[in-house]
Copies of this chain bind each other. A is one copy, B any other.
Amino acid sequence: MKRTSHIQELRKMIAEEKKRGRKINFVPTMGFLHRGHLSLIAQAQQKDAFLIVSIFVNPLQFGPNEDLSRYPRDLERDVRLLEEAGVDALFHPTVEEMYPNPMVTFVEVGQLDAMLCGATRPGHFRGVTTVVNKLFNIVQPDKAFFGQKDYQQYLIIERMVRDLNLPIQICPVPIVREEDGLAMSSRNIFLTSEQRQKAQILSKSLAAAELSIQTGQRSAREIERQLRERITFESQGIIDYAEVRDAGDLSEVTEIKRPVLLALAVKFGTTRLIDNKVVEVKPNV
């Protein structure tokens, strides 16, 4: 596997691969890789494609009181995993390489970025869209892969690409879960074993809500009530949000008629976890 921290070196490498007629596939990450990332990588390993993974913990998407400094990092372990997975190249720039000057330019996706995670993490998505736009301009991939655990992020990136005419196909990849249902996340390492146990309530409450919809419940408010009740009664988790939204554009839903996103953000101690499920409904069940 090739490795570089330098934008110019990466550009050169990519230009050579393109000259040879290879497509460029790209998986941007913040490192501390888990099976969720490996699933993205497996999806991105396609015939004739040169696969680039980036590892960059992006300061721009962390709020002043968030966990930037304690965000878990283990580059050598990540490198080993990427090599075992057969990735072609790793791009792991420093903060100085990505932000040599104070940034004054930002890419913002309005509407989609103010709700759910955007409401409790002001500026977060602006940081994400700006760094992803930069990475896209550096890598110029044909396809980029994003996990659906960050469903809102996936929709925002997809919208940015469409609105700005970026010639990139955004490929969503399903959530990967632990045996007991907990969605894979680099932040899971912060959980105590008791919190780890309690955090199962996220996937369990989503499954129960899905069942409730599939057996006829069509009220978004009632589904949200059920989610909140279950999480509050069965764990000490502090709910940030538990919402039913349109799966296409995250708009508010009253009656569940089209595919919806059930979206959760819950704090266990100091660790904020998110999870979600897209539920489709058949008309006139």
Tell me whether A105 and B165 are in contact (CB under 8 A).
no
A164 within 8 A of B: yes
Q: B residues within 8 A CB of A107? A: 105-107, 164
Among B112, B137, B163, B167, the residue within 8 A (CB) of A164 is B137
Q: B residues within 8 A CB of A165? A: 7, 134, 137-138
Q: B residues within 8 A CB of A163? A: 101, 103-105, 134
Measured CB to CB, the nearest residue on chain B to A113 is: B104
Give the residues from 1 to 28 in chain A that come closer than 8 angstroms, CB to CB, to chain B: 7, 11
**Residue tally, chain A, CB below 8 Å to B:** 28
A160 within 8 A of B: yes
Measured CB to CB, the nearest residue on chain B to A139 is: B165
Tell me whether A133 and B164 are in contact (CB under 8 A).
yes
SS of A interface (majority): mixed
A108 within 8 A of B: yes
Cα distance, A162 to B137, chains bound together (Å): 11
Give the residues from 91 to 149 in chain A that come closer than 8 angstroms, CB to CB, to chain B: 101, 103-112, 129-130, 133-134, 137-138, 140
Among B11, B105, B166, the residue within 8 A (CB) of A137 is B166
Tell me whether B109 and A108 are in contact (CB under 8 A).
no
Q: B residues within 8 A CB of A138? A: 165
Measured CB to CB, the nearest residue on chain B to A133 is: B164
A198 within 8 A of B: no
A218 within 8 A of B: no
Q: B residues within 8 A CB of A134? A: 163-165
> Which residue of A7, A129, A159, A163 has the most chain B CB atoms within 10 A of its CB atom?
A163
Tell me whether A112 and B104 are in contact (CB under 8 A).
yes
Q: B residues within 8 A CB of A167? A: 11, 137, 140
Q: B residues within 8 A CB of A106? A: 107-108, 110
Measured CB to CB, the nearest residue on chain B to A107 is: B107
Cα distance, A164 to B134, chains bound together (Å): 5
Measured CB to CB, the nearest residue on chain B to A108 is: B106
Give the residues from 35 to 87 in chain A that come closer than 8 angstroms, CB to CB, to chain B: none
Tell me whether A105 and B7 are in contact (CB under 8 A).
no
Q: B residues within 8 A CB of A164? A: 105, 107, 130, 133-134, 137
Among B105, B137, B140, the residue within 8 A (CB) of A109 is B105
Q: B residues within 8 A CB of A160? A: 105
Tell me whether A108 and B105 are in contact (CB under 8 A).
yes
Query: Shortest Cβ distance from A13 into chain B, in angstroms?
Result: 14
Shortest Cβ-Cβ A-B pairs, 7 listed:
A105-B163, A104-B110, A137-B165, A105-B109, A134-B165, A104-B111, A138-B165
Please list the residues of chain A having a beta carbon within 8 angstroms of any beta carbon in chain B.
Answer: 7, 11, 101, 103-112, 129-130, 133-134, 137-138, 140, 159-160, 162-167
